[in-house]
Amino acid sequence: MELAHHTSSPKGFCVILVTASSEEEATTIGRTLVERKLAACANVLPGIRSIFRWKGKVTEEKEVLLLVKSRIESFDEIEKAVKGLHSYEVPEVIAIDVVKGSSDYLNWMIESTSK
């Protein structure tokens, strides 16, 4: 991937949402992704409350949100790593395209995820 020269249409970057049962689990997943250069950054946001349907019942749980900044080309590897480290039967692993971004930040992401 080439360095980002401007902030319009930064193709190939994403933010991946992963919910976890605890700060420890989210931190382990985030650290692993960054250490493997699959992600440039992972933010652990504790204290979220999730309401969802699971096995036919509406459920409400305290969770931790992990925001993973990465390249879309790494999604499959990230999904595999998350599933291997996660305690949930069906963990959330959802990518959202980055529409715009600071060229300095995007360049840092490229450098941080280059193997």
How does pLDDT run across 45-80, given as a tens digit for each residue? 999 999 999 999 999 999 999 999 999 999 999 999
- Tens digits of per-residue pLDDT, 2-39? 555 544 446 799 999 999 999 999 999 999 999 999 99
What is the per-residue pLDDT for 6?
Answer: 45
Mean pLDDT of 95-100: 94
Distance CA 24, CA 101 (A): 29
Mean pLDDT of 70-97: 97
Q: How many other C-beta atoms lie within 10 A of the C-beta of residue 97?
A: 11
Full-model pTM: 0.90
Burial class of residue 10, CB neighbours in 10 A (0-12, 13-18, 19+):
buried
What is the per-residue pLDDT for 3?
Answer: 52
Assign domain 13-113 one CATH number from 3.30.70.120, 3.30.70.1350, 3.40.50.720, 3.10.20.30. 3.30.70.120
DSSP 66: E
